[in-house]
Structure 1
Amino acid sequence: MNELPVDKGTRVTLHFALKLNDGQVVDTTFEKEPASLSIGDENLPESFEAYLMGMKAGEQASYEIPPEEGFGQSNPNNVQVFKRSEFSADMVLEPGVMISFADARQTELPGVVSKVEGDEVTVDFNHPLAGRTLIFEVQIIDVEPAGPTH
């Protein structure tokens, strides 16, 4: 068994699950092919990578990740109210519907309808996982040096 610990400059093959603290699964590879990534390639947020450091093949762990280390706190400034007339008449507007907006630089900005009241539509532009404590379960399958193999 490979004894190389996870560190910068390594390629890691792992299974992971990301869950809300009520047990709802957000994403998982445990029933699929494992994920493979190089530490520092930004496939995983840096704060999540920090939990993997030092782990070796065959180890598994579960970490509780507070919002500050996950997707941040929910920002009330990211919740906007629009008039119903600003949307096309045939658009379905109900809580949970995701709408894509373009910001001033024409960058796509997804928002989720959180409330529809009379002529007002409230849209939340926070990341759906903002403000949530997450459970990050990980099982390290293999750790190898990153970079070209000869």
Structure 2
Amino acid sequence: MTQTVQPDSLVTLHYRISLDNGQPLISTFEAQPATMHLGQGDIAPTLERCLAGLAVGERHSFELAPENAFGAHRAELVEKVRLEDFPDGAEVEPMVIMEFTAPDGSRYPGLIREVLDTHAVIDFNHPLAGKPIRFEVQIIGIN
């Protein structure tokens, strides 16, 4: 009986995430394979679902629309933050990722999109939100 990836499998695999234009973003094919415990938050649940049912040795490529990858870009996750509210000495420059603390104490990364006279525009969406991606995998082992 062939062993296949289950929702709670420990999987060793090579993977590549690229934009739909072919631009690679992350790849393990040229390096050590990755080991991920599914269902533990190691990778996005939408990507985990792609792995379900694949067998050892199988290689597959998935074309994912934004809502099936890292989600749609949500305008309500783009906020203006007053420059005076940034910590002293913080690097407030466009395209810098900073960590912010929510009122409940949880922490979130945000990308500074734009710096204005009194505010910075911060995008709390995943950097790949709103983008279609290609997810290529090769299953090496399943435990």
Same fold (TM over 0.5): yes
3-state SS, counterpart of residue 47 of structure 1: helix
Query: Unpaired segments of 5 or more residues in structure 1?
Result: none
CA distance in 1, matches of 2:29, 2:125: 28
Match of 1:32 in 2: 31
Q: Does residue 1:81 correspond to 2:91, yes or no?
A: no
Compute the RMSD of aligned alpha carbons: 2.1
CA distance in 1, matches of 2:30, 2:134: 17
CA distance in 1, matches of 2:94, 2:48: 33
Q: Whose Rg is larger?
A: 1
Residue 44 of structure 1 and its aligned partner are, at CA, apart by 2.6
Greater CA drift, 34-43 or 70-79? 34-43
Residues 120 and 140 of structure 1: CA distance in aligned 2, closer, same or farther (over 3 Å): same
CA distance in 1, matches of 2:136, 2:14: 8
Match of 2:93 in 1: 94
Q: Which amino acid aligns with 2:46?
A: S
CA distance in 2, matches of 1:9, 1:108: 27
Q: Does residue 1:23 correspond to 2:22, yes or no?
A: yes
Q: Identity over aligned residues, as a percent?
A: 34
Residue 42 of structure 1 and its aligned partner are, at CA, apart by 3.2
- TM-score, with length taken from structure 2: 0.85
Q: Does residue 1:122 correspond to 2:121, yes or no?
A: yes
- TM-score, with length taken from structure 1: 0.82
